[in-house]
Amino acid sequence: MMNGILCVDKPQGYTSFDVIARLRGILKMRRLGHAGTLDPMATGVLPVFVGYATKACGILPNEDKIYTAGFRLGQISDTQDVTGRILETHDFSHILDREQIQAVCPEGEIMQIPPMYSAVSVNGKRLYELAREGKEIARQARPVTIIRMQCEEYHPESGEGVLLVHCGKGTYVRTLIHDMGQALGCGAVMTSLKRTMASGFVIDHALTLEQIQEFAGKNMLDSVLLPVEKAFDTLPRILLSPQQTIHYRNGVKLGLSQLNSQLQENQKRYAVCGMPDGFLGTAVTDSENDCLRIERNLCEPRGAES
């Protein structure tokens, strides 16, 4: 069984689940998961976890994303992008340069109301399902982090431009653009979206589905499958002895006193490597119980097929 991460360049028109379905056919296996859902309109980096690596989904230490987003001033749509129904049009001639747009770009932690056309669940129903029924309900604002929102281009004749957005988990870029348009007094819709980084994986390393199909046809998928530990590069590492490695694999907590020389002040979470196995998974320090507690065992079980 294959075990690792495929960095996919998602094509436009595909849902993230469509990508998984296509890869199940290419890889001839069902155990696949992904990090960071992309709307069908969006393209770019979609990390896909293969085999035992799927256990890493949901515990990634770096969930930042970077996007290049196109926008158009003067319009408001029900989906907050150009795929939706245009509800209002407004004059944007008072917006003359990038500086005016940059002045309303937020930074830091903000409160964001998720759009109706989103996968957020309310009372057991997805918001987009309600939106398709013509319903709109009150949504609770949620905190999201904007590390950087930069206006890279703006063309006052057309009202179109490009934003670079570096943000944390759960941020809706089209809502950032919608809110930007509201702040400018003319409305705005998203015209394109490309994710260039997700959880540390960058577009330069991403493969199209066609390229993955080609590698599969040549039995060369191992050459492009990234090791699962790459997703945990930002965590400090602890190296276990052979005996400690056996304990970790068997789910046994390790005493902190055995690892003191490797622990860092104010650091709770670690990537764990063992001898001679290499990367094993993740663990967190539990000072109250004086132990290193296994968070997720990500190593391939002994005797599993390669």
Residue of 1, 199, 149, 160 lying closest to 82 (CA atoms): 160
* Residue entry with tokens 């049009």: 89
DSSP three-state, residue 191:
strand
**39 in catalytic set:** yes
DSSP three-state, residue 60:
coil
* Given the residues 9, 39, 64, 81, the one annotated as active site: 39
C-beta pairs of 22-28 under 8 Å, 24+ apart in sequence: 22/209, 23/48, 23/209, 23/212, 26/209, 26/212, 26/213, 26/216, 27/2, 27/216, 27/221
Whether the CB-CB separation of 65 and 72 falls below 8 Å is answered with no
Whether the CB-CB separation of 59 and 282 falls below 8 Å is answered with yes
Residues tagged active-site: 39
